[in-house]
């Protein structure tokens, strides 16, 4: 009898331990997923990337003058470029024979005809009380406002009209000093010191450019029509019926301020995200919410909604707190939705501009924000791009249950891939990508997600069979990621970037 009582107590004890472990595991998030994510990114939908759907920008007046576009001005009289001396903080001169960073002025668009010009050191070009052109102000005002007047039959030949009503001209006798005191009546010949040859560079076509480009009246119409038509319920049905089980949805930080986000952004993307969750539930798909654009931009590219290529995210605690608030908002909104599978705290922060200390600080706060509302949503942390150790997050993330490290692998965007053959690309996937994935995959560490990859490369004249082999190789290797993978992207005017096109045309089999 005593031994039976002891045995019964032992059973009860072990049951208690197992039950406690289950509760502990639930409260801190799942460790081992029941299935691997086979996802597709819905890029270019709730966050604009012009290269995905270029026609979105067709109706913008003066669309070659979008925010962030670099302009270089060569004086026709002296044959030299305008330059922010010392990169900014002093006068503008016209004495450079080549155009590099100091000779490039980035546009901040006010409207289709009025602009601010930002120089290398981030000051804005303006006119001082003596009519001299300088770059000394950190914030643009009336004196930093200019118009670009083009020659009707030669749009590269321009004059620059200052806020005082006069045009910029080069004063050759004073070491090519630039002033704003020309009436603009001298014609368009090479003897007119107010005439410049303009070149553009560094075009950005992101959410800031499209909304600020169309302006507050037209932008809401364009964006809402795009959100309503680019991704629809039928797309979710297609995704679910073609071997995929999840979608990764890039969003911008202003979605948390819907329906009245700060200018120039447009309200309505939150309603579209709500629809995505409804469709995901209907077709049995999981959702990864991906904060692709953070306040101040975490990288210099259009997909972070960057205005002019400057990285401001992480430079202040305020940008961190703003971003945590966005994660808090999104998780609270969808925490009880059965389709919410993961929240990605930020996409592709760039090293070294974004420091490891700052991204780690944010990831800890972002993780806690998710956990405040959800005990079982996975928390995805993107590796930094650039000069960063791919394993730097492992010690930190290993202590956070339900954490996932996101890596992005493209056989593109580097000169090393330019001359690779089909076989060399395949070998690179099987050898190099396997090794890279193994490096960030540890048995007791966070899960791993190949959050972006594509069956596109630099190989010229590749056959359909070549593409099939390339896609198959990546599916095999990236299928080893412990959390899963996500193809970039569902729809794209560039066929091989479009998973929809690749599936429908037999280039990829899932």
Rounded distance, CA 57 to CA 66, Å? 10
pTM of the model: 0.91
3-state SS class at 403? strand
CB atoms under 10 Å from CB of 173, counted, come to 7
Name residues whose C-beta falls within 8 Å of residue 414's C-beta, 6 or more positions apart in sequence: none
Short-list 198, 84, 90, CA closest to 150? 198
Short-list 469, 439, 442, CA closest to 455? 469
3-state SS class at 485? strand
Give me 314's structure tokens.
Answer: 């992480």
**Cα-based distances in Å from 178 to 87, 93, 124, 182:** 15, 6, 15, 11
> Residue 64: inside a domain, yes or no?
no
Rounded distance, CA 256 to CA 148, Å? 36
- Cα-to-chain-centroid distance, residue 241: 29
Residue 366 sits in the same domain as residue 243? yes
> Residue 27: inside a domain, yes or no?
no
Rounded distance, CA 474 to CA 434, Å? 10
> Confidence class of residue 71 from pLDDT cuts 50, 70 and 90?
very high
Task: Determine the average pLDDT of the residues in 108-113.
Answer: 96
Residue located via tokens 């925010």: 67
Task: Determine the average pLDDT of the residues in 371-389.
Answer: 96
Q: Among 9-13, 197-201, 243-247, 262-266, whose mean pLDDT is lowest?
A: 9-13
Average pLDDT, the chain: 92
CATH code of the domain containing 46: 3.20.20.80
CB atoms under 10 Å from CB of 490, counted, come to 28
CATH code of the domain containing 135: 2.80.10.50
According to the model, what pLDDT value does residue 16 have?
Answer: 38
Task: Determine the average pLDDT of the residues in 470-495.
Answer: 97
> Residue 82: inside a domain, yes or no?
yes
According to the model, what pLDDT value does residue 175 have?
Answer: 64
Give the distance between the most distant pair of CA atoms in the chain: 114
Give me 115's structure tokens.
Answer: 């602009």
Contact (Cβ atoms closer than 8 angstroms) between residue 485 and residue 479: yes
Exposed e or buried b per residue across 230-260, where buried means at least 16 C-beta atoms within 10 angstroms of its C-beta: bbeeebbebbbebebbbbbbbbbbbbbebee
Task: Determine the average pLDDT of the residues in 177-192.
Answer: 91
Short-list 50, 5, 46, CA closest to 290? 46
> Residue 1: inside a domain, yes or no?
no
Residue 73 sits in the same domain as residue 176? yes
Rounded percentage of the chain residues whose pLDDT exceeds 70: 93
According to the model, what pLDDT value does residue 31 have?
Answer: 58
Q: Among 1-10, 209-218, 287-296, 452-461, whose mean pLDDT is lowest?
A: 1-10
Q: Which of 202, 230, 264 is the last residue of a domain?
A: 202
Task: Determine the average pLDDT of the residues in 450-460.
Answer: 96
Short-list 170, 167, 69, CA closest to 117? 69
Residue 96 sits in the same domain as residue 219? no
Residue 385 confidence (pLDDT) above 70: yes
Residue 460 sits in the same domain as residue 487? yes
Residue 47 sits in the same domain as residue 152? no
Rounded distance, CA 291 to CA 310, Å? 18
Residue 220 sits in the same domain as residue 170? no
Question: What is the distance between the terminal CA atoms of the chain, rounded to a whole angstrom?
Answer: 60
Q: Domain range spanning residue 166?
A: 69-202
User: Which residues make beta-bridge pairs with 115?
Assistant: 109, 146
Task: Determine the average pLDDT of the residues in 191-198.
Answer: 95
pLDDT in tens, 215-261: 999 999 999 999 999 999 999 999 999 999 999 999 999 999 999 99
Residue 447 confidence (pLDDT) above 70: yes
According to the model, what pLDDT value does residue 307 have?
Answer: 98
Q: Which of 187, 202, 217 is the last residue of a domain?
A: 202
3-state SS class at 366? helix
3-state SS class at 99? coil
DSSP string covering 305-333, please? T-SSS---TTSSHHHHHHHHHHHHHHHHH
Task: Determine the average pLDDT of the residues in 337-364.
Answer: 97
Rounded distance, CA 298 to CA 303, Å? 10
Q: For 432, which DSSP code?
A: I
According to the model, what pLDDT value does residue 429 have?
Answer: 97
According to the model, what pLDDT value does residue 151 have?
Answer: 95
> Confidence class of residue 416 from pLDDT cuts 50, 70 and 90?
confident
* Count: domains in the chain: 2
Task: Determine the average pLDDT of the residues in 24-43.
Answer: 71
Residue 219 sits in the same domain as residue 149? no
């Amino acid at each position: 009898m005593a031994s039976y009582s002891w045995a019964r107590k032992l059973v009860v004890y072990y049951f208690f331990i197992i039950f406690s472990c289950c509760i502990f595991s639930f409260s801190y998030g799942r460790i081992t997923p029941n299935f691997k994510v086979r996802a597709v990114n819905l890029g270019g939908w709730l966050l604009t990337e012009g290269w995905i759907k270029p026609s979105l920008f067709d109706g913008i007046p003066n669309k070659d003058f979008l925010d962030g576009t670099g302009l270089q001005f060569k004086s026709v009289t002296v044959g030299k470029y305008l330059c922010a001396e010392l990169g900014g903080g002093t006068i503008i001169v016209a004495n450079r024979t080549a155009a590099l960073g100091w000779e490039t002025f980035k546009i901040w668009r006010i409207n289709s005809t009025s602009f601010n010009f930002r120089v290398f050191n981030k000051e804005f070009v303006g006119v001082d009380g003596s009519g001299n052109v300088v770059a000394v102000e950190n914030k643009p005002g009336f004196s930093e406002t200019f118009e670009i007047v083009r020659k009707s039959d030669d749009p590269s030949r321009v004059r620059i009209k200052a806020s005082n009503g006069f045009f910029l001209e080069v004063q050759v006798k004073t070491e090519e000093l630039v002033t704003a005191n020309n009436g603009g009546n001298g014609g368009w010949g090479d003897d007119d010191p107010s005439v410049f040859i303009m070149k553009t560079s560094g075009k950005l076509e992101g959410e800031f450019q499209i909304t600020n480009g169309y302006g507050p009246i037209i932008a809401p119409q364009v964006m809402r029509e795009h959100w309503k038509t680019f991704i629809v319920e039928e797309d979710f049905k297609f995704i679910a019926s073609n071997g995929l089980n999840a979608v990764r949805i890039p969003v911008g930080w202003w979605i948390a301020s819907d329906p009245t986000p700060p200018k120039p952004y447009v309200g309505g993307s939150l309603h579209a995200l709500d629809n995505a969750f409804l469709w995901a539930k209907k077709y049995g798909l999981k959702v990864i919410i991906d904060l692709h654009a953070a306040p101040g931009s975490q990288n210099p590219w259009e997909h972070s909604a960057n205005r002019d290529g400057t990285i401001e995210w992480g430079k202040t605690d305020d940008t961190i707190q703003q971003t945590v608030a966005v994660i808090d908002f999104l998780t609270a909104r969808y925490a009880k939705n059965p389709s919410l599978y993961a929240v990605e705290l930020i996409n592709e922060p760039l090293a070294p501009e974004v420091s490891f200390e700052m991204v780690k600080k944010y990831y800890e706060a972002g993780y806690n924000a998710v956990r405040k509302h959800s005990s079982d949503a996975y928390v995805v942390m993107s590796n930094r791009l650039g000069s960063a150790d791919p394993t730097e997050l492992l010690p930190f993330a290993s202590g956070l249950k339900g954490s996932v490290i996101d890596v992005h692998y493209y056989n593109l965007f580097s000169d090393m891939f330019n001359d690779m053959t089909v076989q060399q690309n395949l070998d690179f996937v099987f050898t190099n990508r396997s090794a890279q994935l193994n490096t960030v995959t540890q048995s007791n560490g966070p899960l791993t997600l190949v959050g972006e990859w594509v069956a596109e490369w630099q190989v010229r004249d590749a056959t359909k069979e070549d593409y099939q082999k390339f896609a198959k190789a990546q599916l095999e290797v990236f299928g080893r990621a412990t959390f899963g993978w996500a193809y970039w992207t569902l729809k794209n005017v560039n066929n091989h970037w479009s998973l929809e096109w690749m599936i429908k045309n037999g280039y990829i089999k899932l």
